[in-house]
Amino acid sequence: MTTIDAHSKAPDETSRLPLVALAVVVVVWGAGPVIAKLITVNPVIGAMFRFGISVPLLFALVAFRKRRVSLDTFKRAALPGLAFGVNLIFVFATVQEATIAVLSVTVAIQPALLLLVAGPMFGERPTLKHVGWTMLGIIGASGVILGAGSELRTSILGLVLAFLAMVMFTVYFVLTRVARSSFDVDPFEWMAAINVWSFIAAIPPALVLVEPADFGELDRTDLFWLGVLAYLTGVFGHVLMSWVHGFVEAARSSLYLLAMNITAVGLAWPVHDEPITLAQVGGGLVVLWAVGAVIRLPPRR
């Protein structure tokens, strides 16, 4: 299987291009929960339609590039694709039960979780400085989130859903990194296969949990925001991130993604009237400081 054209230039983990791409992903993915909260339809229906409208575009892009999704890619994408599909169902459900900051609380735990698994799985050996900056970044992200104070609204169900969303996204994130580091795969082909499996993951819950009348609640506004979510954070953001996985260590890229909390909380203020406090501003500065410090640290194998 051939790699993407960018591989011909062979950027390494310390080059600027993957980091610039990662910064774009931070902004795009940070907008994801804000967009998802604008969608009011049943979470299972929302997830199914989001993947359903992504699949045709991704396969069209693969065909336009005169490629095809191999059976081997489909097999390798099965587990991460199913995990990603379940993750999005939990994300839709969480933002209907809680503020966006609550969802970000659990996302902020992911870098610490990846530090535990990155070494055994990928041969990545973060330095003590890397671990220290990661912990500081998590503290800063917690400040961004918990600084909302009384605006940090949720239910017990919301907390459980947010935790499950984080776990399933971590599974997807790790398995995608495994695939990108173990065999050559085009990001467009990979995400096309991922979205097929994610769509499949949403079908059983739709058959069991959704009443036929619920589909009638899907209006034009929901369809518009589902399209934005599918093509902006989905096709564009995840294809770009799957390319980044080939050049940036999982534990490092996960820390950079903490900056998504800044984007999410910043956009939630004007869009959902979830105001920003001084504590959140301070926490955001700490996150950026920690991310900047880790970017300057060379990776160790």
Q: What is the pLDDT of residues 167-200, one digit of tens each?
A: 888 888 888 877 777 777 788 899 899 999 999 9
Mean pLDDT of 68-89: 90
Torsion 160-162-168-170 (CA) sign: negative
pLDDT reported for residue 113 = 63
Structure tokens at 63: 């065909």
Q: Among 300, 258, 253, which Cα is nearest to 283's?
A: 258
Q: Look at residue 282 and tell me whether its pLDDT is greater than 90.
A: no
Q: Which residue did the predictor score with more confidence, 14 or 296?
A: 296
Structure tokens at 153: 């609204």
DSSP state of 108: T
Structure tokens at 290: 């920690």
Q: Look at residue 289 and tell me whether its pLDDT is greater than 80.
A: no
Using pLDDT thresholds of 50, 70 and 90, give the confidence band for residue 125: low
Q: What is the pLDDT of residues 12-61, one digit of tens each?
A: 544 678 888 888 988 888 888 788 888 888 888 888 888 999 999 999 99
Kindly list the distances between the CA atom of residue 67 and the CA atoms of 53, 77, 191, in Å, as whole numbers in the listed order. Answer: 20, 17, 13
Please spell the DSSP secondary structure of 9-71, one letter per residue.
G---TTSHHHHHHHHHHHHHHHHHHHHHTT--S-HHHHHHHHHHHHHHHHHHHHHHTT----H
Q: What is the pLDDT of residues 147-172, one digit of tens each?
A: 655 555 656 777 778 788 888 888 88
DSSP state of 246: T
pLDDT reported for residue 196 = 95
Domain ranges of the chain: 20-296
Q: What is the pLDDT of residues 75-85, one digit of tens each?
A: 999 999 999 89
Residues 6+ apart with CB under 8 A from 164: 90
Mean pLDDT of 87-98: 78
Max intra-chain CA distance, the chain:
55
Share of the chain above pLDDT 90, in %: 12
Average pLDDT of the chain is: 76
Mean pLDDT of 209-226: 85
DSSP 3-state percent helix, strand, coil across the chain (nearest 5) = 80, 0, 20
Mean pLDDT of 218-235: 88
